[in-house]
A and B are shown apart, each in its own frame.
Chain A
Amino acid sequence: MTEEPTSKRRRRLLASIASAGLVGVAGCGGGGTETDGPGGDGTDTPTGGNETIGDAEFSEFRGSGALAQGREEISGTRIEDLPNLEGELTIYLGGGEGGLYRDLINKLEDIYPDFEATPRASGTADAANTLISEGAATPADVFWSVDAGSLAAVAAEDLTTELPSDVTDPVPDEFHPNSEWVGTAGRARAIPYNTDALDESEIPDDVMDLPGSGIAGDMGWAPTYGAFQAFITAMRITEGEDATRQWIQGMVDAGITEYANEFFVSNAVADGELRAGFANHYYALRVQAARPSAPIDLAFTSGDAGALINVAGAAVLSASPKQELAQNFVRHLLSAEVQEYFATRAYAYPMIPGVPPVGGLPRIDELNPPEFDLAKLSNIGPTVDLMREVGVL
């Protein structure tokens, strides 16, 4: 199954979503009209109690869109196997996926009546700079941020405590370079392409080969978008400034089209305006979720900046007097249910191999990201200078 080309597998999966047979199994409301009601429905669903994916608890965490249907078998530590959450916890959020993280915290509070979490959200850099300014006086117990650089910055100031190995072990090493923080969900750089206009085999395996590949002129990108700049930063560090400058110049010379953000890029690919583009993987999935028949698919390059995976992650702050509760909270973030939540609602890459990403994408341990210290992504200054030099900013 896993040797099968991913795109084929996905297409089959998407096709199976459409068939009514599988939809009922998910047990979160049945036939296509279900709404996202946490714990609300379950009145008229005649599920036979499918042991792994029809579980009532999973349906609470799982999203409701077409992509969340027909999930493969899921494994990993279940919430019921974890110690209970009891007490109050202050959580600094860096970002927060438009409120999805708050929703998750609310769900955990519903499960544990004695657990009360207080989230405070700001931008990832703001949150990290706030924590660093607070130092030992921070009221926060946990720092949970959508950007690895912000976590590394706080860890570098000796403000975090090491996580026990049972917390970090299930997560591949590259998503917790040390034990100071651990990745909770990933976003992969990808090349969304129009399946009517392009075959996956026409997309080079090496991102550096793209300018001369003949498709560059029909591609789109969003140079002002943060994740794109992170991708260029990774290229600058792994390939060097000159190669990166030439790469950008090559794409510009080929006639690449500029968009305001990567959701627009992905939409333009689905509409056939573009044959391919540069975007975070989940934008194509958002398009797919809205238009299941859209001719869009994802290709991944191999071992280079184009295959970079940046992660959201969590750290326990050393100033917190609630070390055990904070660690247990992080354990919950890596439970099968919560990983399923990130996968099916944010279309993020789950961090544990037991939970597959939606849309038939390769699992986290099947991707081939570059060897790269994610903390270096925060060094965007030279990247911006370089992009300005070439004239794309």
Chain B
Amino acid sequence: MGAVGDAAGESAGVRQRLRRFLGLDDDGVSTPLVLLSGAIAAAVLSPLIWLLLRASEVPTDEALSLIGSSGDVFANSLALVAVVTTASVLLGVPLAVLTVQTDLPFRRFWTVVIALPLVIPSYVGAFAYISAFGPDGALADALAPFGVQIPEVYGLGGTALVLTLFVYPYVFLTTRAALLSFDETQLEAARTLNVGYLSAFRRVILPQILPAVTAGGLLVALYALSDFGTPSIMQYDVFTRMIYVELNSFGDGRNNATLLSLQLLTVTAVVVALESRIGSGEDSGYGAAASSTAMISLGRLRWPAMLLPALVSTFTLALPVGILTMWFVRAEALAYEVGGRAFEWGFALNSVYVAALAAAATLALAIPVAYYSGRSRARFAWLAERATYLGYAMPGVVLALALVFFSSNQLAAWFGPSVARAVYQSLPLLVFAYVVRFLPQAVGASRSSVLGVDPALLGAARVLGEPPRRVFRRVTLPLIAPGVLAGAALVFLTTMKELDTTLILHPTGFTTLVTYIWRVQEGGYYGRAALPALVLVVVSGLSMIPLLVQGRDK
């Protein structure tokens, strides 16, 4: 009798602990939500299995010496991450404040322009900087007669500069979303207490936008850690270069590359876990609908203030596009024969189509994870959310090869060749790859918005008799919309420029802007990249408008 009672009590205890682990007793958390979030996390982690399989083929002594030899480049990688993240925050946060909270002229225009550098592929941006400032570069040559010495662009300085210029929009967009949701009456309250803006910013605004700033900073850090192109072009020896060299060495190289990728993922896991200590916001609820009503009048500085975004976009947009145009003109003058089908506008359409699909799919999967982890402090909620970040740090080539293996080889073995043929090189598979790569961008941006929602508001809605689903739709969703849309914008832009996974997994015959740019660059016809790169920037800019103009007026 007693034993049965104990067992019952024990199983009740286990169930209790499980409920706590899953956060099922937290407000707004339901079993389907937990299961869904867990499934999403598992799906995006699945390519890791391939990495483990391949890496396990590396003999132990070789593995140890490989890992041992990566010490220096590892320190280099961490230095790069630290510099780029700090610089991006220093650049992104003021620009967000300027475009959301002040009466800067043409704010809508600047918002789009400031977010756009994210779409410049690193192989375009870094190449432009090398050909402008590098040895024998166009600008270096032009300025030399005036005695202007351009500092060395290679190495940590140049790499960090170029990376920062093209990734700070992560911080800008996430911070902007948080600022949009900021309840300006709080600032007015601070003002009535005779607190100046700077002081109010530090004491009232900053604590509330901190989760968003750290979310953006984390995306920047992980991007800097996993970027292939910029460090290799700017000749800075980082971890990804080792992976690249191994991948290009064939033979054991592929297995070595996966081993190194796992090492990179381990570091990522540490960074992601550490970030959650600073990042996870305090209960700083805000309950305002998105608004960017100007709160600060710049006065006489209103027009001069445009210098800051103008200067930034000169270096992030005008310079690369200008250099490409110069190449274009030179190539025309040289008139060498160019093969390949000429540029088609359909490429731009393909790019927008697949980027929109990726943004929509990512968003649909990000909202449950973000909502679950924003509402619940349970261990499992934390794990599910943090797990989504791992795919982001997986180099695109490695991820793509993992999916090649699963969707061709493995699917054919399990379900027969016809199933593999249907899945492999299909559009859904490509979109899935984008989701794995970019889910954390949407999760990070959305989650910081969920954290900002005042639980008391939801409680009030419930008390008024609204069922949870309607509370989510009518109260939560409008409040988190700016963050969710910022996440969509991030995914859209990064998908537009993603090269490696697109090249390896695209449906045959599906040419996008970046694969076209790759095709002409690969043949050494740099000038031919000018038009498609320009189209990439303009089309992305236009596509951003619906995402970024929300919350303009109250």
Contact of B338 (CB < 8 Å), options: A98, A123, A152? A98
Query: How many positions in chain B have a CB within 8 Å of any CB in the partner chain?
Result: 56
> With A65-B336, A98-B528, A102-B340 known to touch, is A379 a contact of B249 (CB < 8 Å)?
yes
Do residues B135 and A98 form an inter-chain contact, with CB atoms below 8 A? no
Considering residues B417, B503, B524, which has the most beta carbons from chain A within 10 angstroms of its beta carbon?
B524
Q: Note all chain B residues with C-beta closer than 8 A to A257.
A: 135-136
Q: Is B412 an interface residue (CB 8 A)?
A: yes
Q: Are B339 and A133 in contact (CB under 8 A)?
A: no
A interface size (C-beta, 8 A): 58
CB neighbours (8 Å) of A137 from chain B are 408-409, 411-413, 417, 420, 424
Task: State whether the Cβ of B186 lies closer than 8 Å to any Cβ in chain A.
Answer: no
A268 to B413, CA, bound (A): 55
Chain B residues with CB below 8 A from A144, complex form: none
A97, CB-defined interface residue at 8 Å = yes
Taking a contact as CB atoms under 8 Å apart, the answer to whether B523 and A224 are in contact is no
Mostly, the B contact residues are helix
The smallest C-beta distance from A342 to any residue of chain B, in angstroms, reads: 11
| Alpha-carbon gap, A130 to B401, bound state (A) | 6
Does B303 have its Cβ within 8 Å of any Cβ on chain A?
Answer: no
Q: Name the prevailing secondary structure of the A interface residues.
A: helix
Taking A259-B135, A286-B336 as contacts, is the C-beta distance between A133 and B524 under 8 angstroms?
no
Q: Given the complex of chains A and B, what is the CA–CA distance between A289 and B134 in angstroms?
A: 27
Give Cα A96 to B525, complex, Å: 12
B161: chain A residues at CB < 8 Å are none
* Set of chain A residues within 8 Å of B333, measured between Cβ atoms: 290
Cα–Cα distance between A378 and B245 once the two chains are bound (Å):
9
Q: Are the CB atoms of A135 and B519 closer together than 8 Å?
A: no
B248 at the A/B interface (Cβ < 8 Å)? Answer: yes
Interchain CB contact under 8 A, B251 and A153: yes
Residues of chain A lying within 8 A (CB to CB) of residue B135: 257-260
Q: Which residue of B lies closest to A64 (CB)?
A: B337
Q: Nearest-CB distance from B380 to chain A (Å)?
A: 33
| Residues A128 and B250 in contact, CB atoms below 8 Å apart | yes
B454 on the A face (CB < 8 A):
no
Q: Tell me the residues in window 387-415 of chain B with beta carbons closer than 8 Å to chain A beta carbons.
A: 397, 400-401, 404-405, 408-409, 411-413
Closest to B254 in A: A129
With A96-B519, A133-B405, A384-B245 as given contacts, are A156 and B251 in contact (CB-CB < 8 Å)? yes
Q: How far is the CA of A42 from the CA of B136 in the complex (A)?
A: 45
Q: Fill in one digit per residue for A259-272: 1 if any B CB lies within 8 Å of its CB, else 0.
A: 11101100010000
Complex Cα distance A153/B246, Å? Answer: 13
Chain B: which residue is nearest A124 at the CB level? B248
A268 to B135, CA, bound (A): 13
Are B522 and A259 in contact (CB-based, < 8 A)? no
Residues 133-144 of A, flagged 1 when their CB comes within 8 A of B and 0 if not, give 111111100000
CB distance from A377 to the nearest CB of B (A): 10
C-alpha spacing A125/B228, complex, angstroms:
15
User: How far, in Å, is B251 (CB) from chain A's closest CB?
Assistant: 7
CB of A63 within 8 Å of the partner chain: yes
Q: A96-B519, A99-B523, A378-B249 are in contact. Are A123 and B337 (CB under 8 A)?
A: no
Alpha-carbon distance between A117 and B84 when the two chains are bound, in angstroms: 46
A57 within 8 A of B: no
- A369 contacts the other chain (Cβ, under 8 Å)? no
Is B421 in contact with chain A by the CB < 8 A criterion? yes
Closest CB-CB distance, B261 to chain A, in whole Å?
A: 13
Q: Which residues of chain B from 217 to 253 have a CB within 8 Å of any chain A CB?
A: 233, 235, 237, 241, 245-251, 253
- Binary contact readout A114-127 vs B (1 if CB under 8 angstroms, 0 otherwise): 00001011110110
- At the interface, yes or no: A74 with Cβ under 8 Å from chain B? no
**Least distance between B35 CB and chain A CB atoms (Å):** 32
Interface string of B238-274 (1 = CB under 8 A from A): 0001000111111101100000000000000000000
A residues less than 8 Å from B425 (CB atoms): 120, 139
Question: What would 18 more interface pairs be, CB under 8 Å, given A137-B420, A139-B424?
Answer: A65-B337, A95-B523, A98-B525, A99-B338, A99-B341, A102-B340, A120-B508, A121-B503, A128-B250, A129-B250, A150-B250, A224-B233, A260-B135, A263-B524, A286-B334, A380-B245, A380-B248, A381-B245
The 29 listed contacts between A and B (C-beta, < 8 Å) are A65-B336, A96-B522, A98-B339, A98-B340, A99-B341, A99-B519, A101-B339, A103-B339, A120-B425, A121-B503, A121-B515, A123-B522, A125-B247, A130-B504, A133-B404, A137-B408, A137-B412, A138-B408, A224-B235, A260-B131, A260-B136, A268-B136, A286-B334, A290-B335, A378-B250, A379-B249, A381-B249, A384-B241, A388-B237
Q: Which 10 A-B pairs have the closest CB atoms?
A: A99-B340, A98-B523, A100-B339, A153-B250, A290-B334, A137-B412, A137-B408, A133-B404, A99-B339, A122-B503
- By a beta-carbon cutoff of 8 Å, the part of chain B in contact with chain A is 130-131, 134-136, 233, 235, 237, 241, 245-251, 253-254, 333-341, 397, 400-401, 404-405, 408-409, 411-413, 417, 420-421, 424-425, 500, 503-504, 506, 508-509, 515, 519-520, 522-525, 528
Interface set of A (CB-CB < 8 Å, partner B): 36, 63-65, 90, 95-103, 118, 120-123, 125-126, 128-130, 132-139, 149-150, 152-153, 156, 224, 257-261, 263-264, 268, 286, 289-290, 345-346, 378-381, 384, 388, 393
